[in-house]
Chain A
């Protein structure tokens, strides 16, 4: 045990959390590969930020690892690469993974079955790279946070506004039930995780690095410890945290390990911490050492509707249907198809949807395997939700105000600190879908803010226009005054002409006189 491990082994705790049956198949930790599917669907938005911009055309031949969509000008974006060789069949809207079943632009590749790599090279001497060079490898590889947040990793590691990062946390605490892709990675490819962690640590120049995982996966723990020992790195500690949902949530894990809290509305960097998923670390290792872009990820197949559950290395863009049929999906038993875990994942309406960088699991469950939402009873204010909330919120109060559509009040109860982990819904004895109420309230508030911003902009524009008009008017008046003054000035002098009356005024006078004359004549005409 290194000094660092010793120093860190005293864990802290966070409020609430729930003990929930993990349903994990620890025996299924072996990573199996999956054959290249016939077609791959690559959404241009697989990350937080601006969509990537397609740089290939329909009919183009692409090779494995070739960039097919490049960075947007927007600072937050990520590249997308061809996961296999083949032909660009189309670039069109297609179903993408989204809770509301939305469609989005996708590049469709028809595989040629050859899986031919383009030229790619890793760094000759990775240990000699500086921070900037490592970041370039990460950016070129299109790596995003694989823990679910899918924030472009190069941006995340680069952008700290001069705040020093003291501690790097490599998050292997996979607290969602059923999911074991990180466990499989840590067990089988511990060296990749550790070497990736070292690279990221170098980028951040962080003093400490903690690899954290839950205490119910001893195999992964042993592998990681062995890997750290092999590299004899004193600055990396492998720490087990108690199996308690949601200990793998970034904020809760930071509190568990450091006793610190991420200030509301801020990011971990603000308190000198950066948190990166184990899968991301391994991807960084492959990018730097081999020049491999992020083309595949480990996906857990779980649930009673598949006969070969386990962890599979799957190409990004693989349709869910291809993946599940490879895992032995029996259609007649499938009741519910969830992307992600049972606590925070969302149900899919169709299998005609691609696996993307964020997809850690597909849960295909048989009838009765998961709980159905019974009819909700009234809230009896028992407070179990508050006891379970890892953010120490008051869920029953927020529910009350969400129902009443009192959004001002619900904001006072800090609804935007809610991480939607689902603990409150899980414990609610009245079967109230609490999280759904919070999602609703949040989106309503965001909508209002958006329209407020719009109307603010409109008002501002209007005001500016008024000001501008006012200014022009004033300028004109000023000019006129000036002109008059200039004209008057000579009239004050002894005039050389008596007939220096304003010609316009004179003309007007003539017109008026003429009109008066006509008026006087009119009655006579009529009579």
Chain B
């Protein structure tokens, strides 16, 4: 008796682990720049989130009676953890990582059926939950770049001890360590009508082409994202539509309507989580549209929502909310954007009418 197997008998070598590992690797340039700019807290958050996420993943797999090793080795929990960690302020207390990982892995992923079945992006739901439940910790602990606080001796030990105990060394005050993010500064500045864009130029809000210092982080994620497209781990549709729509919104309001109230398109593209969102978060295949036209609409929707929420909403950045809102519309998008199947809707000549 010979081996019985259904066709095809050939298989492309790429599997889910390869894809997830590729996406994790593509995060590295951005992570490196973030760590360079903000110090050990970034890596510490990453480590905590990954450990907690894997812990919950194993528990849930056991509870759901799934084989642990193939599911752990698919790197999807690691990716979720990484995206969550990169969304946390670098001074975040350790329990934010714990609660976030719990909400991402247990509630958003496994309670919805596990890998492939979750409706919402786990990392983004966890982030949104943390932002709503712990607004102070999530928004007031954004650190200044190390280069601007070099008067303070902020080393690994001090960083660790603050994240675990919440106690700062007596010589250091929290105000000296933290600062509003560029997006936050612009939003509050404009909301209170205290300052116009040109007046804000004086403060450290704008960098060379985007937000002050965060522009470099965005550049890192852009590089990783382009590599993902080059390696075909993601398709170009969602990132392009995301960035293009955000750019267009900012262009129309920023240059045509009132350049003094609305920052330039490049500020939007290179601030906050734009590049991370466009290439790594919105492209999560499980929770985004699957048809190519659906992907374009999905990406464009994310971009527009990001702009709307950043400009008129209650939160400085908006990637999480934009992605979650678009996640809801995925079944609808997939249904209404089905491609024309071969041999359908032809004229009598057997050709497609344009």
Contacts and interface: CB of A to CB of B under 8 A. Distances in A.
Interface of A: 14-15, 18, 20, 177, 251, 255, 258-266, 270-271, 273, 334-338, 340, 342-349, 363, 365, 370-375, 377-383, 386-387, 390-394, 396-397, 413-414, 417, 422, 425-427, 429-431, 433, 435-436
A260 B351 contact: yes
A264 B343 contact: yes
24 contacts: A258-B350, A260-B349, A261-B346, A263-B346, A264-B341, A265-B343, A270-B350, A336-B2, A346-B7, A347-B3, A347-B4, A375-B70, A377-B70, A377-B71, A380-B19, A380-B76, A381-B285, A381-B288, A382-B285, A422-B7, A425-B8, A429-B12, A435-B7, A435-B8
Interface of B: 1-12, 14-16, 18-19, 70-71, 74, 76, 114-117, 235, 285-286, 288, 290-292, 295, 334, 338-344, 346, 349-352
B115 A380 contact: yes
Contacts of A393: 341-342
A270 B19 CA distance: 43
Given A259-B351, A271-B349, A396-B290, A431 B15 contact: yes
B8 A264 contact: no
Contacts of B338: 394, 413
A442 B130 CA distance: 47
B9 A417 contact: no
B94 to A, nearest CB: 30
Contacts of A426: 8, 10-12
| Most interface-central of A337, A381, A390 (chain B CB within 10 A) | A381
B127 to A, nearest CB: 21
A397 B334 contact: yes
B12 A335 contact: no
B343 A370 contact: no
A433 B5 CA distance: 10
Given A380-B116, A429-B18, A435 B350 contact: no
A348 B344 CA distance: 36
Q: Do most interface residues of chain B lie in helix, strand or loop, or is the interface mixed?
A: loop
B5 A414 contact: no
Contacts of A380: 16, 19, 76, 115-116, 285-286
Nearest to B232: A384
A425 B10 CA distance: 9
Contacts of B6: 346, 373, 433, 435-436
A346 B19 CA distance: 30
Contacts of A433: 6
B5 A344 contact: no
A337 B1 CA distance: 10
Contacts of B292: 383, 386
Contact of B9 (A258, A263, A371, A392): A371
B343 A262 contact: yes
A374 B13 CA distance: 11
B342 A383 contact: no
B189 to A, nearest CB: 41
Contacts of B115: 377-378, 380
| Most interface-central of B5, B7, B286, B291 (chain A CB within 10 A) | B7
Given A261-B342, A344-B8, A417-B342, 10 more contacts: A260-B351, A261-B350, A370-B9, A377-B70, A378-B116, A380-B19, A414-B344, A430-B116, A431-B11, A433-B6
A430 to B, nearest CB: 6
Contacts of A422: 7-8
Cβ-closest 10 pairs across A and B? A378-B116, A271-B350, A422-B8, A260-B350, A371-B11, A264-B343, A342-B9, A382-B285, A391-B342, A336-B3
B340 A343 contact: no
A337 B2 contact: yes
Contacts of A270: 350
